[in-house]
Structure 1
Amino acid sequence: MTLIGSGAIAGVLAGLFGIGGGAVLVPVLFQFQSLVGVDEAVRMHMAVGTSLGVIVPTSLRSVFAHYKRGAVDMELLRSLAGPVVIGVILGSLVAAWVPADGLKGIFSGIAFLVALKLLFGRKEWRLGAELPGPVGRGAIGVIIGFLSVLMGIGGGVMNNTFMTLYGRPLRQAVATSAGVGVLISIPGMLGFVWAGWGAADLPPLSLGFVNLLAVAMIIPLTLLCAPLGVRLAHVLPPRMLEVSFGLFMMIVAVRFAIGLL
């Protein structure tokens, strides 16, 4: 029931915030694996890799729903495609040797910074009036891909922040971030399959660091609930979206920080 419930919540959040739902799935999967006795040495890696596997169809469903509403910035998405994939590949290589506590620290630290920006940021906080040119976008795309795959998220967290800091409307940032989730989740999932191939103490029905049973259990509800999140994203006030997402990310950050103690 815990996995099913997390799948429903992740689906709503995918449509609502343009994220793949990994910010929900990673902590839930980590705790679930603790309960069923998955070895601690691979537990965090399994949570991240399995989350990426779930994000693939969730992000696809979300971005198509936003695209139908004309909210996706396709020009920006195309310019980010190559750099984001390069970042994902680099992150997957790092994931093959980084320890579990390292992944927890990355997840917690980034979630905390994003939460602070969403909760306390002001409209006048801007890095510029226009998005960076090709070189700047390329560098940011690599960073988004690299950090997102290590967190097991679809990149919406960081792409939302990137776009809003350059004056883009939150709803457009949410919609475009769903597309970034597609760019991250597919190569990211394959990267974690490779990174965990042949690893010791993997749970049954796993391909590397991706557990196929968990993916199969969670995906149906994420797909069912993602359109609900899209509808909410186009109805709720933007500030309500920011505060809600900020509170959620703060809770996640604190939870993982406590786990490092």
Structure 2
Amino acid sequence: MLDLIPVILILIATGIIAGFFAGLLGVGGGFLMVPVQYLLLIDGGIDPTYAIRIAFGTSLAVVFPVSCAAAWAHEKRGAIDWNAAFPIGIAGILGGFAGGTLASHLPVDILKILFGVLVILAAIRMVRDTPASGGTTRSGLGVWTLTGIIAGLLSGLLGLGGGFILVPMLLLIFNLPIHRAVATSSASILFFSIGGIAAYMFHGAMIEELGKGFLGYIDIFQWMVLTGAMIPLSRVGVATAHRLPSERLKMIFAIMMVGIGIGMIGIFP
């Protein structure tokens, strides 16, 4: 097992980077946290089947407080569309719980491939399709609810905050401007994470092999270090996002998604 200090340093570095991009892109940061946590857990002797679920569950547990900080920063700039965020988010609670429950029963190889393929496809769609510069949120409650269920389900299933699914949907389906989509996503994933966290805590509590230091599938130590590092940087990311041109922000989002997706499919054990 790795010495504690290197592990802490790795987690802090991960939290700093993930926190910045969580604020910048309206995501939870799971795209980076999950692969790093998974590798650390494997190196620490955790069975891969449990390691991937712990990484997903802990990532979602970190997402909640980090998203609170990011959403507050976006709200102060008046960027969140609450008409969309509330119905999407509330529907996403149920989707998140269902996704977390499904992930607790799927084989590790399937989860890794799903994680990688999903973020790559979302990146390709975002680069190829150019949404309108304006956009409207005058959609029916049913449309917002369905969007929330789908995004929440994938969020809980893959340990992501949901931004990697929701931001492209807001851009490509509803034609929201990138800055407004990022802000609205930050608010919505507050709700998504609640359902996923509940599922991972419930199903992980049944695994006796995990022992002390875990709250279900949530690694308490990793949660504390990552959350402490991410929250301050998420606010920096929000401020940066509102200064970047739309196309540059979208390209940064897509490049990072592709890199992480390829790594999760073909590199990580």
Quote the offset at 1:32 in angstroms.
Answer: 1.2
CA distance in 1, matches of 2:151, 2:190: 13
Is it true that 1:75 corresponds to 2:70 in the alignment? no
CA distance in 2, matches of 1:81, 1:122: 25
Quote the offset at 1:149 in angstroms.
Answer: 1.0
Quote the offset at 1:225 in angstroms.
Answer: 0.6
Confirm or deny: 8 A CA contact 2:95 2:195 kept in the other structure: no
For 1:98, the equivalent position in structure 2 comes to 106
Quote the offset at 1:130 in angstroms.
Answer: 5.8
Is it true that 1:158 corresponds to 2:165 in the alignment? yes
Structure 1 unaligned runs (5+)? none
Please point out which of 154, 176, 180 is paired with 2:184.
176
Confirm or deny: 8 A CA contact 1:39 1:201 kept in the other structure: no
Identity of aligned residues (%): 30
CA distance in 1, matches of 2:199, 2:43: 26
For 2:175, the equivalent position in structure 1 comes to 167
Using structure 2 for the length normalisation, give the TM-score.
0.91
CA distance in 2, matches of 1:137, 1:122: 21
For 2:3, the equivalent position in structure 1 comes to none
For 2:38, the equivalent position in structure 1 comes to 30
> What RMSD over aligned residues (CA atoms) do the two structures have, in Å?
2.0
Is it true that 1:139 corresponds to 2:146 in the alignment? yes
For 1:222, the equivalent position in structure 2 comes to 230
CA distance in 2, matches of 1:11, 1:130: 28
Is it true that 1:9 corresponds to 2:17 in the alignment? yes
Quote the offset at 1:221 in angstroms.
Answer: 1.2
Quote the offset at 1:200 in angstroms.
Answer: 4.3
For 1:61, the equivalent position in structure 2 comes to 69
Confirm or deny: 8 A CA contact 1:107 1:256 kept in the other structure: yes
CA distance in 1, matches of 2:124, 2:211: 36
More deviation, 202-211/222-231: 202-211
Is it true that 1:148 corresponds to 2:140 in the alignment? no
Confirm or deny: 8 A CA contact 1:66 1:230 kept in the other structure: yes
For 2:264, the equivalent position in structure 1 comes to 256
Give the 3-state SS of the residue equivalent to 1:3 in structure 2: helix
CA distance in 2, matches of 1:260, 1:224: 29
Code of the aligned partner of 1:171: H
Give the 3-state SS of the residue equivalent to 1:249 in structure 2: helix
Quote the offset at 1:82 in angstroms.
Answer: 2.8
Confirm or deny: 8 A CA contact 1:11 1:21 kept in the other structure: yes
CA distance in 2, matches of 1:235, 1:79: 28
Equivalent pairs, count = 260
Give the 3-state SS of the residue equivalent to 2:209 in structure 1: coil
CA distance in 2, matches of 1:69, 1:87: 29
Task: String of CA shifts for 1:77-124, please: whole Å, max 9, x gaps.
Answer: 122233211211211221221121221122111101111123333347
Structure 2 unaligned runs (5+)? 1-8
